[in-house]
Structure 1
């Protein structure tokens, strides 16, 4: 965990390509050989940072068909998804700074991410969704995704504020509150 935490901090501030494994090892207080024992390459270390985000998304949609598609169920699913994004928001700066490195690292995992994302969007839009409902579902997912970058853009926002604000905003996007 300390290795990943140090890597997130260094990759986020300096960039993935610009950070050496020696710097990560030094930040943790271990030898480079010890770091290689845990992560055979810098890409493996990056995947160890990104994989939990993808795994979380998949876990949200695994049994989504069993959740009632009503206001309470929708809010529960959004909350579960959001809490995972908040849990991994330390990686947000890395995602912003090194989008290309992240996309390259995710190449093998991209189908998992895409399928989970689509499953969640379709479920949020609801049965027999109109194009408007589909767009609202996409927008709600984007709102929740802000949690990953919230430390970068709003460092003073604690987890509780991020959760309540983004959950309310995503719910409003889905239900068109405040319009018409």
Structure 2
């Protein structure tokens, strides 16, 4: 019997997850199409019926991560202070990092393997993400545009790197999150005039 739509989708997601694991563990550039097909239980010829190219699959995985990062910046509940908004953003990033550690690794290490057009698309998503992040957690920050963009890039990099570093710590999770929040508060308050964030109540 032919597979149902749900079964086909489940198979696609399973193969995609296996490809993600292989890319993350070996490095995108070290994986041949033949090895990828074998890892997914496909022939090299049939692989193209599932994924247009190895590079297209990498792009899809990295693009998905940045779309998820943008989703962490959903409008906060009314009445929240900047510190409370920052805590909510940190919690969302922490959870996303725990859910998708391999995609974070790919985005950091293998972005350069994408085509120029694909890299431009990711750069645009990252710009939207960094702009939205700064608008959310430090809406009154005052700096020249170039300095503001550079600061947003650094804060976003910290926000996306700290969970991976701190999740290896023996500290309880609550203390790790508090440490992460303190580091980010310090970076924001020292870097952004008029961007001070009081500690959450």
TM-score (norm 1): 0.71
Q: Report the aligned-residue RMSD.
A: 3.7
CA contact (8 A) 2:82 2:138 kept: no
Q: Which residues in structure 2 correspond to 1:37-116 (within 5 Å)?
A: 37-64=49-76, 68-102=80-114, 104=116, 105-116=118-129
TM-score (norm 2): 0.65
Find the aligned partners of 2:54 and 2:158 in 1 and give their Cα distance: 31
Give unmatched runs, 5+ long, in structure 2: 1-12, 191-196
CA contact (8 A) 1:60 1:81 kept: yes
Q: Which residues in structure 2 correspond to 1:151-166 (within 5 Å)?
A: 156=168, 161=173, 164=177, 165-166=179-180
Find the aligned partners of 2:100 and 2:162 in 1 and give their Cα distance: 9
CA 114–167 in structure 1, closer or farther in 2 if over 3 Å, else same: same
In the alignment, which residue of structure 1 is the partner of 2:130?
Answer: 117
Runs of 4+ in structure 1 deviating by more than 4 angstroms, as ranges, are 64-67, 134-139, 153-158, 160-163
